[in-house]
Amino acid sequence: MQIQQGGFNIDYATVRVGAAFLGQATISRVPSEEEQGKAFESGYLRSFPTEAQALGYARLWAEMWCDENREEWERYATETVCPYPWGARNA
């Protein structure tokens, strides 16, 4: 599924692992001429017994990530090296 929020594109989906569903999200900025193809991937998030719960959590997690990282992402858009020393942050 895909939504836009505050200049970000958020793609979120689930993966089934046994009886559980894991959410994951890919976040990118709405592209401009200066910014091409930069994205942040959450990796696998928490597991849930239903796909709807995992999708809801992945969407909420991504929206919160966008709110928390908006300023850093704006600087990132003009840099060639990603400033994030961390990979996916699982809540």
Domain segments of the chain: what residues?
A: 2-76
pTM: 0.70
The H or E element that residue 42 is part of is none
Determine the pLDDT at residue 24: 92
Residue 38 pLDDT:
72
> What integer pLDDT is reported at residue 47 of this predicted model?
92
| Tens-place pLDDT, residues 11-65 | 899 999 999 999 998 888 766 666 566 777 888 898 999 999 999 999 999 888 8
On whether the CB atoms of residues 26 and 70 are closer than 8 A, the answer is no
- Terminal Cα distance for the chain, rounded: 20
